Amino acid sequence: MNKIAVFSSGGDAPGMNACIRAIVRSAIYNGLEVYGIRRGYSGMIKGEIFKMESSSVSNIIQRGGTILKSARCKEFTTKEGRQQAYDNLKKFGIDGLVAIGGDGTFTGANIFYEEFGIPTIGAPGTIDNDLYGTDYTIGYDTAINTAINAIDKIRDTADSHERVFFVEVMGRDSGYIAIPCAVGGGAEIVMIPETKTTISKVVETLRTGWSRSKTSFIVIVAEGDEEGTAVEIAAKVQKEIPQMDARVTILGHVQRGGAPSAADRMLASQLGIACVEGLLQGQACVMAGIVNSQLVYTPFIDTISKVKAINPTMSRMIDILSV
Ligand code: F6P
């Protein structure tokens, strides 16, 4: 292997830049030529490929987002699109790839390897922390800290006005962001897709709280919850408790930005190096991750198909802590 390329794909996450930096520098350290691909698979198809030097990644470790840009690319799901991408990689003589992204990114890389034999190693880059094969994904720690920061501010105004706030956090189909936001943000209720929390349970918890002289409440809603969005859930609860003074806050893409935390910079740097070393060892179609403090390479197929289950005792913590 002489020439590798790095790209970021799917939703961006704080720490992606730190990971790009680690990949570029460890490639150079190991005597490889390294290229960047802009806009993920879309740039691969369009030939947005450029040579990177150590200086290309100076002064980015602290920056959120991704200097390589990111995109979700429909064209790469077609054989023609992938053929075009392969032709472009061949033009540059690229014989290995490092993909920073989530399961959609790795699904594409897996098919690409089966068809064209270009080995890819993945670094888990998503705020959702929903990838099997790593305890934490790059960007997760920063995102939950950003969210908790916002919840602290919401708590101030909730307390002053004695209101119920329904705060929606990201996470797609998972409650990994919602749980620490609820525990760390001191919420009374958390609603996640993995466990069922009915509207009547929410109503009951609020009524019990009022009877114990609580005057303000925070309900954390994971965006994928089965009862609906925070707006819908707030409306359903309002129907049951017309006198409730409620507000809804959707934290949204605020959670995706900002300078990466120390933990994310460390994880991104460690996994970036692991990706390059994995390629040099001849690995393909695996994601580098940290499980129980150990570096592991998990086949993409497992990362994509297996579920990283949420510890069920986590929701229980919120019941205990909000008494
Ligand atoms: O996967 C990261 C994520 O932020 C999810 O939490 C969210 O559901 C989704 O991406 C939003 O995607 P987009 O930025 O395309 O709206």
pLDDT in tens, 133-177: 999 999 999 999 999 999 999 999 999 999 999 999 999 999 999
Predicted pLDDT of residue 318: 87
Q: Is 131 in the pocket of ligand 1 (CB under 6 A)?
A: no
Counting atoms of ligand 1 from 1, which one is nearest the CA of 177? 6
Q: Are 34 and 16 in contact (CB under 8 A)?
A: no
CA atoms 30, 12, 106, 193: torsion sign: positive
Q: Is 256 in the pocket of ligand 1 (CB under 6 A)?
A: yes
Predicted pLDDT of residue 111: 97
Q: Is 105 in the pocket of ligand 1 (CB under 6 A)?
A: no
CA distance 161 to 154: 11
- Which pTM was predicted? 0.97
Q: In the chain, what are the helix, strand and coil shares in percent, each to the nearest 5?
A: 45, 20, 35
In this structure, the strands spanning 294-299 and 164-169 are unpaired
Predicted pLDDT of residue 122: 98
Class of domain 3-139+260-305: alpha beta
Pocket probe for ligand 1: among 39, 42, 127, 173, the residue whose CB has the most ligand atoms within 8 Å is 127
> What is residue 176's DSSP assignment?
T
Predicted pLDDT of residue 87: 98
Whole-number Å distance, alpha carbon 11 to ligand 1 midpoint, is: 6
Q: Are 296 and 122 in contact (CB under 8 A)?
A: no
Q: Domain locations in the chain?
A: 3-139+260-305, 141-256
Same fold: 3-139+260-305 with 141-256: yes
Predicted pLDDT of residue 81: 97
Q: Is 283 in the pocket of ligand 1 (CB under 6 A)?
A: no
Whole-number Å distance, alpha carbon 13 to ligand 1 midpoint, is: 10
Predicted pLDDT of residue 303: 97
Tokens of 142: 């920063």
Q: Is 21 in the pocket of ligand 1 (CB under 6 A)?
A: no
Predicted pLDDT of residue 319: 83
Counting atoms of ligand 1 from 1, which one is nearest the CA of 171? 6
In the three-class reduction of DSSP (H, G, I as helix; E, B as strand; rest coil), residue 133 is classed as coil
Tokens of 279: 């390629």
Whole-number Å distance, alpha carbon 204 to ligand 1 midpoint, is: 32
Is 159 marked active-site?
no
pLDDT-flagged residues of the chain (< 50): none
Q: Is 128 in the pocket of ligand 1 (CB under 6 A)?
A: yes
Class of domain 141-256: alpha beta
Predicted pLDDT of residue 270: 98
**Each residue's pLDDT tens digit, 201-227:** 999 999 999 999 999 999 999 999 999
CA distance 155 to 164: 10
Catalytic residue among 12, 103, 128, 225: 128
